[in-house]
Amino acid sequence: MVTWKMKCSTCCLLAYRSDHNETRKLNCSGRMMWKYSPDSDSALHIYPVNLGGKLHCGIASSAGNFLFFSSLTVIVPPTVTLTCDKSRVAVCQASARKPAAEISWTPESNHSAEEDVHHPKERVTRVSYTGWVNSTLPTVTRLVTHPATNQT
């Protein structure tokens, strides 16, 4: 037997009992279901997913009872905006994401600053400023990296 349960008293419970080929759902809205047939794979499909959560997986077999805990970590890719003003200050903002994006500038400048704005559910907006007022270079390039994307 395999059971999955979110860590709260009213959350969804999915169970599969192989000796009866029986599945059960309790308090499930349809956003949490078996990814495949539970008799061949006990993986879950959760959609839409919320930021954070703890899952319990219990397995009972002839070899004994086993309980596993799993933390659900959701990473959200950034929405990036880039602006500049007449005073040659470039502003790059990677909005309300988890975790915060990394922002760097080329060429590097002594006139750079960065600030983080924290939002609920561990989301962060990172804002990075760079100025190239005294630079003879006509352009500045920004690089944004984030673990939810494989691009920069």
pLDDT at residue 7, as a whole number = 66
Between the two ends of the chain, the Cα-to-Cα distance in Å is 44
User: What are the pLDDT digits (tens) for 45-99?
Assistant: 777 776 656 777 788 878 888 777 776 677 778 888 888 877 778 888 888 777 8
pLDDT tens digit sequence for 10-33: 777 888 888 888 888 888 777 777
29 and 84 co-located in one domain: no
Q: Is 90 in the same domain as 66?
A: no
- Nearest partner of 148 among 81, 82, 98, judged by Cα: 98
Check whether residue 84 and residue 144 sit in a common domain: yes
115 pLDDT tier (thresholds 50, 70, 90): very high
List the CATH number of the domain containing 87: 2.60.40.10
Same domain for 68 and 107, yes or no, is: no
Judged by phi (left if over 0) then psi (alpha if -120 to 50, else beta), residue 88 lies in: left
124 with 91, same domain: the answer is yes
Query: By residue range, what is the domain housing residue 115?
Result: 79-151
**How many structural domains comprise the chain?**
2
Shared domain for 138 and 105, answered yes or no, is: yes
Query: Which pLDDT does position 135 carry in this prediction?
Result: 64
Same domain? For 68 and 104 the reply is no
Euclidean distance between CA atoms 85 and 93, whole angstroms: 14
59 and 8, same domain (yes or no): yes
- Domain check: are 94 and 46 in the same one? no
**Residue type present at position 127:** V
